[in-house]
Homo-oligomer: A and B are copies of this chain.
Amino acid sequence: MSHSNLAIVVPFPNRKAPGPFASQIFFRSSGAAIAASEFSYSRDQEIYGEGEPAEYVYQVIHGAVRTYKLLNDGRRQIDAFHLPGDVFGLDSGDAHRLTAEAIIDTSVRIMKRRTLETTANADVATACNLWRMMADGLRRAQDHMLLLGRKSAVERVAAFLLEMDRRLSKTGMVALPMCRRDIGDYLGLTLETVSRTLSQLHDDDILSFSGARHIVLHNRRRLEAMNA
């Protein structure tokens, strides 16, 4: 799989983005070609650190990745969860502005930034796709600022559940790769508040559990109404 020819193609440009930097990257034998390799990371392993030179762009093959920022005293804000198909590490000038870690065992495809830049300079389609991915990231960040700045705990958790349902629900079941603390650090809440809110939604028959990380949504409409 490594060192194959690669081009960036967005299969359905008009479809709603399924997640952060949502465009899919597919292998293709013709057209602009970019060398790519596969890498694997185990649970909690760092992929890159804030401030490190940003040499590569990544696409999740399977697993899940969190990107975050820290304050001196350890407070953490998770910027985004990256799921299979998502591209991350594209934001960044010379240096990464976030830390990226595997949430669970994860494999990624990596591409050299420089190669990507060169390709984008020559190939308008590639440039457009990169632009679209960047714009998606910005849109997500803007929506998330509204959540962090103005939504209540229930509204945040409802938004999170709907996002995850949309992005990783296969069989009507949401299988969360991340722990309660990660969810809290994504939503600007404590893990206890996340847990309490989920329990409350369970009591209200809006969802049910099969183990803490497997959730079935029973009433998306009510969740959407809560999302404000």
> Which A residues contact B (CB, under 8 angstroms)?
69, 71-73, 75-77, 79, 91-93, 97-98, 121, 124, 127, 131-132, 134-135, 137-139, 141-146, 148-151, 185, 187-188, 228
Contacts and interface: CB of A to CB of B under 8 A. Distances in A.
Contacts of A138: 91, 134, 137-138, 141
A25 B175 CA distance: 48
B228 A71 contact: yes
A79 to B, nearest CB: 6
Nearest to A149: B188
A150 B143 CA distance: 17
B75 A150 contact: yes
A87 to B, nearest CB: 13
Given A142-B98, A148-B149, A188-B149, A135 B75 contact: no
